[in-house]
Amino acid sequence: MEDRRRRIREAITGQPQATVTVLSSLLAVQDALGWIPPEALEEVAAYTGSTVNDVWGVASFYPNFRFSPPTTHTLEVCWGPTCHLLGAQALLQAFYETLALSGEGDTPDGRFSLRLNPCLGACAQGPVASLDHRVYGRLTPEGARRLVREVT
Amino acid sequence: MTTPFALYEAMAREAGARWEALANGPHPWVRVGMAICGKAAGAGEVFTALEKALARRGIQATLTPVGCIGLCFAEPLVDIQKPGRPRVFYPRVTPALAETLVEECLLGDNPRPDLALGTLGGRVEGIPPLEEHPAWKVQVRIATRNCGTVEPANLWHYIANGGYRALARALTEMKPAGVLEEVTRSGLRGRGGAAFPTGTKWSFLARAPGPVKYILANAEEGDPGAFNDKGILESDPFTLIEGCTLAGYATGATKGYVFIRHGHEGPITLTRKAIAEAYRANLLGKNILGSAFSFDMEVVLTGESYVSGEETALMEAIEGKRAMPRPRPPFPAQVGLWGRPSNINNVKTLSYVPEIVARGGAWFAGIGTEKSKGTAIVCLSGHVARPGWYEVPFGLTLRQVVEEIGGGTGTGRPVKLLQTGGPLGGVLGAEGLDIPLDFDGMAQAGAILGSGGIIVADTSTCAVDLVRNLLAFCQWESCGKCFPCRLGFTHLLGIVEGIAAGKGRPQDPETMRAIGQSMTLGSLCGHGQLGFNPIQSALRFCAEDFHVHIREGRCPTGACRPLSLPHRTRPQPVEGWYASHAHHRR
């Protein structure tokens, strides 16, 4: 626990950019730990001269923060209009089936988390999904199943 | 006395020599498109395969990752330039094909015309020049002039291609008012969606008093279907950095922020690297090129929030708060970021500035149409044969863009819908193909050019299904500050989901109009004000799809099925957690 607090402090104080805010500090913790543990709210509040309430206000606003420990792998499926037209729903169904999920969330074994992303930014290669922040384009349902099967 | 221009010229000479050594030196030069579209198509594996194949055969060649040249349909795209020869582009390269290219083009001397897409800068027998390719020949590349040609954050590459000439000249022989005048004369209008004249916007900031003023470059680009801002940052970040610096000089600003969404690693890393390079060369920082002008720049990240691309919400996010819009007035030019006068421009807008200052405003004003000067950078995606991003002069018709550049739907079915300008833009029918591509023509038709995204949908698409997707996005992304927007989108989505499921009621279109009207009147920012646009235009251009759904309770195309689309709920505190922390006050 104290080790985690130390890692949070390192992430917050080690931000390389000049502008340090509540949001930038939370993003630094998310990058370093893969989630926002409860004590990170206290640390960010103390470091930025803010309150825990205000920090939670920011953390709960942006959907890219996690509030539970990260899974081994992160899958994001794009559901923007381009990918929707090109078969995003079929991809999503393939991921749901392969992972035995029925919506966004984590697999019970803690290996995968599945998120819907409104646009991954590679529309010209749609439909796209990302595995551990690497984007895969022109994906088919079979390709989606293979992606999950072959990840180590 | 050494002038900024003399200092620049010394750099330009060295840059030119380095570039010449690459392009016409003793070794071949191999460039691989490694922006997000290239990587998503497998460019990483192709790059590794090329590296290994070159090493295994002991071939001396320069292998360079570049950004995106805009021809995303051809990714992974490899271009090979042998000494003194033109660049030859090979589309859809696989690792196996990469081996073949090394074997036959580099080790041997067969340019494999059967595998090539085109050439640039000369002719090779059997390969058509790219200048004759329908996706290339109508392009006028100004803001994207270097994309796919230079290594993205390589200062020498940028300078060798004319970069920083404009800034050096401005600092040597132009007053700030002179730079502002060129931009005003160019007729440049904002490329983020609102199309406000850039020169006028800058003049507000120039007139604002104060020792600290900011230029904010908005790269948030949350519009699904738009990827040109990130494309520029991933391919040529220096054109934005020079544009920001010139904007700072013209308006008396002291610092520039580039605002990018967390998670878009390519644009973030490359822009940060380019800014660091510019500092090293004294092209940013104190007394730029020995002049009296100082300017700082920094990349700031936002969390995932579409509304953070709105100019006042953007300032809130830079300050580290929730991305929620502020009431105006006061306007950003008076009270902006941290209470200081600020100017917000889209990445594309600022990326035009170096060429406008270098070539003069009149040159830029000579391109495009009377009221839409210059070029549009359009992103084609969806049911289109050649998805990609293309810089074309204003005044073409959407038909030319979709059919000539995009090559039509590529599905064998005709175009049914065009979704332009992002989720707050419009949904046009096939008759929209004859609308001219310019700010006012598109606005009159009930669509907007917005950030340049054009999503093409063929006749297998149902307008109700597409509108449902757009509304789900808007509902998900409403920041929640203004209740007409927060509740309005939730109701609109509920109604359209009912229509999609065959449970529409005859009064639904009228109810939606009433909701849309209160959203337009009662929301602080464009998200709520424009949120009814897609429904309004879809009801106008694709009324039949809605009627069949409502009257007959069925989908005319069969595209509407139950969907897994997210309805937004903000994360709830972990049980007991919030309560146990709520008493902690500073």
This complex has an ipTM of 0.97
Residues on chain B touching A21 (C-beta within 8 angstroms): 318-321
| Cα distance between residue B230 and residue B36, in whole Å | 9
Structure tokens at B186: 């160019």
Residue B144 maps to a domain: no
Pair of tokens at residue B315: 């300032």
* Residue A53 and residue A78 in one domain: no
Within a domain: B566: no
In terms of domains, do A78 and A123 share one? Answer: yes
pLDDT of residue B121: 93
Per-residue pLDDT of chain B (586 residues; tens, 9 = 90+): 689 999 999 999 999 999 999 998 899 999 999 999 999 999 999 999 999 999 999 999 999 999 999 999 999 999 999 998 999 999 999 999 999 999 999 999 999 999 999 999 999 999 999 999 999 999 999 999 999 999 999 999 999 999 999 999 999 999 999 999 999 999 999 998 889 999 999 999 999 999 999 999 999 998 999 999 999 999 999 999 999 999 999 999 999 999 999 999 999 999 999 999 999 999 999 999 999 999 999 999 999 999 999 999 999 999 999 999 999 999 999 999 999 999 999 999 999 999 999 999 999 999 999 999 999 999 999 999 999 999 999 999 999 999 999 999 999 999 999 999 999 999 999 999 999 999 999 988 888 898 899 999 999 999 999 999 999 999 999 999 999 999 999 999 999 999 999 999 999 999 999 999 999 999 999 999 999 999 999 999 999 999 999 999 999 999 998 876 766 655 444 444 444 444 433 3
Residue B343: give its domain's CATH number.
Answer: 3.40.50.11540
Same domain for A85 and A126, yes or no, is: yes
Q: Are B450 and B228 in contact (CB under 8 A)?
A: no
Question: Are B322 and A67 in contact (CB < 8 Å)?
Answer: no
What local confidence, expressed as pLDDT, does residue A103 receive? 86
Asked if residue B260 and residue B113 are part of one domain, the reply reads no
Domain that holds residue B431: 375-458
- Angle, CA of B524, B423 and B537, to the nearest 5°: 95
Are A94 and A117 contained in the same domain?
yes
Among B116, B132, B148, the domain boundary falls at B132
Residue B447's pLDDT is 84
A66 assigned to some structural domain: no
B428 token code pair: 């046009």
pTM: 0.96
Same domain flag for B216 and B354: yes
**Strand pairing report for B214-219 and B342-346:** parallel
Dist. CA A134–CA B265, nearest whole Å:
10
User: Rounded CA gap, A38 and A58, in Å?
Assistant: 14
> How many other CB atoms are found less than 10 A from the CB of residue B244?
27
Is residue B220 within 8 Å of residue B309, measured between CB atoms? Answer: yes
Residue B576 included in any domain: no
Task: Provide the domain count of chain B.
Answer: 4
Q: How far is A12 from chain B (nearest CA, A)?
A: 14
Does A88 map to a domain?
yes
Predicted pLDDT at A89: 93
- Between the alpha carbon of residue B442 and those of residues B221, B397, B432, B436, B560, the distances in Å are 20, 10, 9, 7, 28
For residue A65, being part of any structural domain is answered with: no
Q: Which residues of B touch A74 (CB under 8 A)?
A: none
Domains contained in chain A, number: 2
Domain membership flag for residue B585: no
What are the C-alpha distances in Å from B430 to residues B337, B427, B464, B494, B555?
43, 10, 16, 27, 19
- Asked if residues B174 and B89 have their Cβ atoms less than 8 Å apart, the reply is no
Residue B317 confidence (pLDDT)? 97
Same domain, B246 and B260: yes
B483 and B408 fall within a common domain:
no
The DSSP symbol for B405 reads: I
A/B interface, count of CB pairs below 8 Å: 191
Range of the domain at A102: 73-150
Residues B149, B66 contacting (CB under 8 angstroms): yes
Assess if residue B428 is contained within a domain.
yes
Mutation target for A interface from B75, B265, B273, B301: give the one with most A CBs within 10 A: B301
Q: Domain of B92: which CATH number?
A: 3.40.30.10
Q: Which residue of A has its CA nearest to B320?
A: A23
CB distance B48 to B39 below 8 Å: no
Residue A64 domain-assigned? no
- Which segment of A2-11, A35-44, B442-451 scores lowest on mean pLDDT? B442-451
Tell me the β-bridge partners of B78: B32, B90
Select from A60, A124, A126 the Cβ nearest to the Cβ of B570. A60
Residue B505 lies in a domain: yes
* A100 domain residue, yes or no: yes
pLDDT exceeds 70 at position A61: yes
Place of tokens 């680009």: B221
Residue B567: the pLDDT is 64
> Is A30 within a domain?
yes
A38 touches chain B (CB under 8 A): yes
User: Chain A partners of B323 at a C-beta cutoff of 8 Å?
Assistant: 61-62
* Closest CA relative to residue B177, chosen from B109, B235, B251: B251
Question: A73-78 and A129-131 as β-strands: parallel, antiparallel, unpaired?
Answer: antiparallel
List the beta bridge partners of residue B120: B87
Assess whether B112 and B44 both reside in one domain. Answer: yes
Q: Is residue B3 part of a domain?
A: no
Looking at chain A, which residue has its C-alpha nearest residue B234? A121
Q: Do B450 and B304 fall into the same domain?
A: no
d(CA B188, CA B199): 7
CATH number at residue B511: 1.20.1440.230
Residue B581: the pLDDT is 44
CATH of the domain at A116: 3.40.30.10
Residue B294 forms part of a structural domain: yes
Residues in chain A closer than 8 A to B477 (CB atoms): 118
Flag whether residue A47 sits within 8 Å of chain B, measured between CB atoms. no
Residue B269 CA to residue B255 CA, distance in Å, equals 20
B39 & B104 share domain: yes
Q: Which of B247, B169, B182 is nearest to B214 (CA)?
A: B247
- CA-based radius of gyration for chain A: 17
Considering only CB atoms, B264 lies closest to which of A52, A80, A121, namely A121
Residues A33 and A96 in one domain: no
For the stretch B318-323, contacts whose Cβ atoms lie closer than 8 Å and that sit 24 or more positions apart, written own/partner, are: B318/A19, B318/A21, B318/B216, B318/B257, B318/B259, B319/A21, B320/A21, B320/A22, B320/A23, B320/A24, B320/A25, B320/A48, B320/A58, B321/A21, B321/A22, B321/A23, B321/A58, B322/A57, B322/A58, B322/A61, B322/B479, B323/A61, B323/A62, B323/B479
For residue B39, give how far its alpha carbon lies from the nearest alpha carbon of chain A (Å).
7
A44 Ramachandran zone, left/alpha/beta (phi>0; psi -120 to 50): alpha
Name the residue of chain A whose CA is nearest to B228's CA: A121
Q: Which of residues 7-26 of A touch B (CB under 8 A)?
A: 17-19, 21-26
**Are A125 and B40 inside 8 Å of each other by CB?**
yes
- Would the CB atoms of B419 and A81 count as touching at under 8 Å? yes
Is B303 close to A104, i.e. CB distance below 8 A?
Answer: no
Q: Which of A73, A71, A82 is nearest to A139 (CA)?
A: A82
Of B40, B453, B564, which has the smallest distance from its Cβ to A136's Cβ? B40
- Taking 3-state DSSP, the helix, strand and coil percentages for chain A, each rounded to the nearest 5, stand at 50, 15, 40
The residue in chain B having the minimum alpha-carbon distance to the alpha carbon of residue A39 is: B581
Distance from CA of A141 to the nearest CA of B (A): 15
Domain boundary among B365, B383, B410: B365
